[in-house]
Amino acid sequence: MMDIKAMLKWGKIALIIFLLNFLLSLITLGLLLWLILKPEKKIDQAEIHLHRAGIYSANALWKLAAEEYQKAAEHSEGTKAISLWLQAGDVCYEKLSDYSCAVESYLNAKLLGKDFSKDAESGSRLVDSLKKLGKEDSANALLNEMTALVPESSAGSTVVARIGERQITMAELRKALSAEPEPVQREFSGADGLRKYLDQYLFTRLLYQCAVDENLLDETARAELERIKERYFAEIYFRKKIMSEAKITEQEIRDYYAQNQAEFKDSSGRVKPLDDVRKVIESKLMDKKVNELRADWFKTQAQKRGLYINAEAFGSK
């Protein structure tokens, strides 16, 4: 009887051991399958190269930084890739004076859809890099593309003329006329004014195209074009980066009026109402703020770019 009980007892123990071994085998098999089948963690190569570029830039290792920005761009897409190509181009242009590298980087951004007509600084760097590499024709073609009048994307705008495949719309013509000096605008006002202006507009475009096609840009013309380009980009930058920061508050207008009432007396000695002199005050305050912003910006850039003025050359000490 005891032998049977002992056998049952040992049988239960053996069964438990078997079940435990079986369960352990299942767990081991499951772990192996998970290790084999689990998705590999995707490594963001762009972020790795971008991180390296930041480290190299912080240590002024500009050549390595440019290479890492380029590698990061190659592993990116869309606007991020464009931004990284531009960063690489800026390092090549500004820090290395490596114009081949700058052109390569900027053109890669352009291939991805970068519109340099809306980015004056990067566009001017690409044009300058091309010129420094002796690629005058490419530089002028790009400059022409950047500064060309582009028809507004207004749905249904009537096409008024065509030069080859280049369409000129009514919206473009109106915009061009509005940009002319006031005497010109007055000359082409009235019912048939736009039609007359179209002839002059087309005449100018055709003259320009012929000059480019026949390579009539001599050294004098190139120097003048360079001067116009510089003023064009400078004006865009000044409006967007400096003048846009000049804001006048209502309180500033009221304070100026209260503190300078002697300026606003009429012939009888009475102070004019604020509303009558508001525009004069706004103009004075705006001029003052723009001049202050301009002076601060100039000082900052002078320090950043190592500006030196030889005052003695002008007889000053």
Tens place of pLDDT per residue across the chain (317 aa): 446 666 666 666 777 777 777 777 778 777 767 666 655 544 578 888 888 888 888 888 899 989 999 998 888 888 888 899 999 989 998 888 898 898 888 888 888 888 776 676 777 788 888 888 887 777 667 666 665 544 444 445 788 888 877 788 888 888 888 888 888 888 888 768 888 898 888 888 888 888 777 777 778 877 887 888 888 888 888 888 888 888 999 999 999 999 998 888 888 889 999 999 999 999 999 999 999 999 999 999 888 888 888 888 877 65
Of 90, 84, 82, the closest CA to residue 121 belongs to 90
In degrees, rounded to 5, the angle at the alpha carbon of residue 146 between the alpha carbons of residues 125 and 85 is 45
Dihedral over alpha carbons 208, 210, 213, 217 (to 10 degrees) = -60
Domain boundaries, the chain: 45-147, 149-214, 246-314
Q: How many residues does the chain have?
A: 317
CATH of 45-147, one of 3.20.20.70, 1.20.120.550, 3.30.70.270, 1.25.40.10: 1.25.40.10
In degrees, rounded to 5, the angle at the alpha carbon of residue 101 between the alpha carbons of residues 95 and 104 is 135
Radius of gyration in angstroms for the set of CA atoms belonging to the chain, rounded to a whole number: 35
Q: Which residues pair with 166 in a beta bridge?
A: 163
Q: Which pTM value belongs to this model?
A: 0.40
